[in-house]
Amino acid sequence: MNIDLTDTTSSRINSALVQARRATGTPAVGMVLTLVIVTDEGNHYDALRAASEASKEHPSRILVVIKRPGRSPRDRKMARMDAEVRVGGETGTGETVLLRLHGELANHAYSVVLPLLLPDAPVVVWWPEDAPEHPSEDLLGQLAQRRITDAQATEDPVASLGLRAATYTPGDTDLAWTRITPWRSVLAAALDQRHSPITSAIVEGEAYNPSSELLALWLAERLGVPVDRQVSEGPGLTAVRLETADGVICLDRANGSLAELAMPGQPDRHVALQRREMSELIAEELRRLDPDETYESSVKFGVSKLGGVGTLERDAKTAPATQVPPRPPLPTRDPETPSEHVPGSSKNPPQAPTQPPAPKPHPPKAQEQKANGKADK
């Protein structure tokens, strides 16, 4: 059942929700959380479709906040809210409310959303595209127990990861981390078996892929070994190689769906590593609402070493032709080792000694005396 409301208020929206529930026979007590999606007009359809699919596993009230501040000064001064209430049908077992905030009201989404939250139910806020720099300090973010961002949807994914680490608050998470859950599960199961100590690791993935950076950070933080990142044609993550004395533990996914796990002394085996849809990622994040300590330790570990491919390419274009910027590996966990040099890595060449400045040449003494004599005359 769909109910359209023009130039409405939060009170009228609540009344429309009650009317729609009575008409469809859907009780509100069956919903487990409120999911708030903050997006724009161009991206709300895909985000709403993913959230509706996830609501089949987690019945919830979905509030889609679509900000339309306007282009002209006249449009920005006006304040109006249009809403669309959907109960049943394509929305599954939950409720969906589309809130279009026009003009000045777009800057006060908190006041609109607060009366529409389910009582005594957790709140999750998801920014599919442009997330605030400090999600926990955003007014909508302060309402939520879980705040979901997506570094892959930004212009500079590696810089976004650095920002997420600098502003991390318990309850924050990023879909770039959710995308590597199957990879972490397979690698953890492989490392549970008996093998010789790991000396180094290599992570291969597409350029500007934040999931590759996060997986490399996770391996460096957990294993305490240098981890190098290499660029591949994709799609997404393509391979992880762990160097041991007995050989290489390799998890290779060339086609984006089926991976091959090779371990020393064991036959190769195939592992399903299908690239998941957005609805599956959101459903996974809604399964747990407590702080993700593993994500926190990984994104904060060695964040200063996040040297994405884009950064290195920009440095190479601006540097002289004789200078090739090296690609540093991620640091180890040894606190006594300086962060500028990682033992056992060939990516840190020794610095050349600095030469003292050459002294300025002085005129010969005879010429100086001759010049003084001419000046006396």
| pLDDT computed for residue 194 by the predictor | 75
Q: Which of 182-191, 321-330, 349-358, 360-369 has the highest mean pLDDT?
A: 182-191
| Tens of pLDDT, residues 246-260 | 899 999 998 878 899
Q: Which residues contact 280 (CB under 8 A, 6 or more apart)?
A: 54
Give residue 69's pLDDT: 77
> 185-201 as b/e, with b when 16 or more CB fall inside 10 Å?
ebbeebbeeebeebebb
pLDDT tens string 193-237: 877 889 999 999 988 889 999 999 999 999 988 999 888 887 889
* Band of pLDDT at residue 90, cut at 50, 70 and 90: low
H-helix segments, the chain: 10-24, 44-54, 73-77, 109-113, 139-142, 157-166, 175-178, 181-191, 210-223, 278-287, 293-300, 309-318, 365-376
Domain chopping of the chain, boundaries: 2-149, 176-330
Mean pLDDT of 159-172: 92
Phi, psi dihedral angles at 42 (to 5 degrees): -80, -20
Candidates 206, 49, 44; CA nearest to 129 is 44
- The answer to whether 10 touches 117, Cβ cutoff 8 Å, is no
CATH number, span 176-330: 3.30.360
Q: Is the pTM of this model over 0.85?
A: no
Other beta carbons within 10 Å of 367: 9
Place of tokens 């990682």: 342
For the chain, the maximum distance between any two Cα atoms, rounded to a whole number of angstroms, is 117
Report how far residue 212's alpha carbon sits from residue 205's, in angstroms, rounded to the nearest whole number: 6
Q: What is the mean pLDDT of residues 271-285?
A: 93
For residue range 1-56, what is the model confidence (pLDDT) as tens digits? 889 999 999 999 999 999 988 887 776 667 889 999 999 888 899 999 999 999 88
Compute the distance between CA of residue 172 and CA of residue 295 in angstroms, rounded to an integer: 9
